[in-house]
Structure 1
Amino acid sequence: MFIDFHTHRDRQCQNLVNLQTLHVNVDLQAKSLPPTCSLGLHPWFTDISSWEDAYKNLEILANLPKVLAIGECGLDRNIDLPMELQIIILQRHIELAETLQKPLVIHCVRAFSELIALKKTTKSVIPWIVHGFHKKTEVFQQLLEHNFYFSFGAAILSDRAPVVQAIATIPQGRFLLETDDRDDISIEQIYDRAAALRQVSLVTLQSQLVETYHQLTSLSRINRRIATIHSEPNLTE
């Protein structure tokens, strides 16, 4: 089983879990969603005048069982959207993810200090997964120390990428793999490269990532079950 944790492509095949990411606007409807997906307001496409209405739609759609994660959402210093507003919108996503107990998929460009500060101040307990991570070792270590998760993609295919060391050494259970918006590479290529860098067999890596995926995306079901157990009457009394 291969898991493409973050993709903008609709791929369907028997041995693939394809978690498709969609940007939510006011017009997105439940009937348009793929079988498994992640939903959020991407900072690139967020409109100042309509983001609140789009977020209200996200709140509705995010409750659907097929929505397994919240995002991508995040912070990006390379766009015109004011950073102050980006932080407000990200905080709303954090609150929603916490309420629904679904992991948060993060887009972050040149704003990792702000991202870590939010992680500290919000005291969020759901997993935050930085997707498409390809930064230097120092940034990787900082995020790892603050209990972030990672989704690695095409960057690990390059021998010169600093992220190669990260994928080789990151603890099991703290990462997944992705193709993002690339249509010229396959998730199988990413898996083969990751297995080689981690010096494990492809079958072993597949098994490990299936376990990680289920741990990250089953939080809401597990917590609903716990709540149900706690609310059930004690029949022995």
Structure 2
Amino acid sequence: MLIDFHTHHHRSSLNLINVQVLHVSAETRSQALPNICSLGLHPWFMESSWQDAWHNLEELSQLPQVIAIGECGLDRNCKLPIALQTIIFQKQIQLAESLQKPLVVHCVKAFSELIALKKQAKPMMPWVIHGFHKKASVYQLLLEHGFYFSFGAAILQDQAFVADAIATIPTSRFLLETDDRQDLQIEQIYERAAQLRQISVNSLEIELLETYGKLTGN
């Protein structure tokens, strides 16, 4: 059984756990949700009048098919002021804690702030940095502060620090994803990750199923 922990596309297969990520708006309805999904308020799509979307997220995230909160987080490249992003992110941290669901984190140029928020919140639920592809020093710092990781297309590229991260990261601290890449299959990510870790794809499948179960309770 393969797990695509973070994808923006619907894919159906008997041997795939496809965790589809949706940004919640005020108009999102439960009938539109996939069988397995992660819901959040993404900083790219938030407006100053975000409260209606937030109240909808509070309701929808209680449904059993919602296995995680997010993606959500901080992004210094988007137009929403970082102070407002932080308020919205903190509410989603609290929501993840109250529902006992992991938090899927989007972070761009704000890792110091992210670590500070995690220290402040002292969460019981895991925080998963999705699509990680930053330099080794950032990776080591996040690992030391208890973050989990979801690796995607970056591991197919010739980036030594990402390859080293995959090769050496503790078994229970990562998952794999395709994100928004419709041209990418999760099988490709598994094959490369298994190669880097010098294990079989079957062994990797077993490891990641166990990690997914611990993270989500499923």
TM-score bracket for this pair, using the shorter chain length: over 0.9
Please give the per-residue CA displacement for 1:118-143, whole angstroms capped at 9, x wherever unaligned. 00011111100000000000000000
Identical columns (%): 64
May I ask how many residue pairs the two structures share in their alignment?
Answer: 218
The structure number with the bigger radius of gyration is 1
> Unaligned regions of 5+ residues in structure 2, if any?
none
Read off the aligned partner of 1:160 and give its amino acid letter. Q
Match in the other structure for 1:162: 161
Higher mean C-alpha displacement, 87-96 vs 154-163: 154-163
- Partner of residue 134, structure 2: 135
The reply to whether residue 27 of structure 1 matches residue 31 of structure 2 is no
**Cα distance in 2 between the residues matched to 1:187 and 1:82:** 34
One-letter amino acid matched to 1:22? L
Question: Matched residues in 2 for 1:20 and 1:93: separation?
Answer: 18
2:185 and 2:147 mapped to 1: Cα distance?
Answer: 25
Structure 1 gaps, min length 5: 222-237
Which aligned runs of 4 or more in structure 1 are off by greater than 3 angstroms?
Answer: none
Residue by residue over 1:2-32, the C-alpha shift from the partner in whole angstroms, topping out at 9 and shown as x without a partner, is 1000000000011100000000000000000
1:119 counterpart residue number: 118
- Map of 1:2 onto structure 2: 2
For 1:81, give the aligned amino acid: L
For the 8 Å contact 1:21–1:38, the answer to whether it is kept is yes
SS in 1 for 2:51: helix
| Alpha-carbon distance, 1:92 to partner | 0.1
**Superposed CA RMSD:** 0.8
- The normalised TM-score by structure 2 is 0.99
Alpha-carbon distance between aligned partners in 1 of 2:46 and 2:168, rounded to the nearest angstrom? 35
Q: Could you tell me whether the CA contact under 8 Å between 1:136 and 1:162 is conserved in 2?
A: yes
- On the 8 A contact 1:39/1:58 being kept in 2, the answer is yes
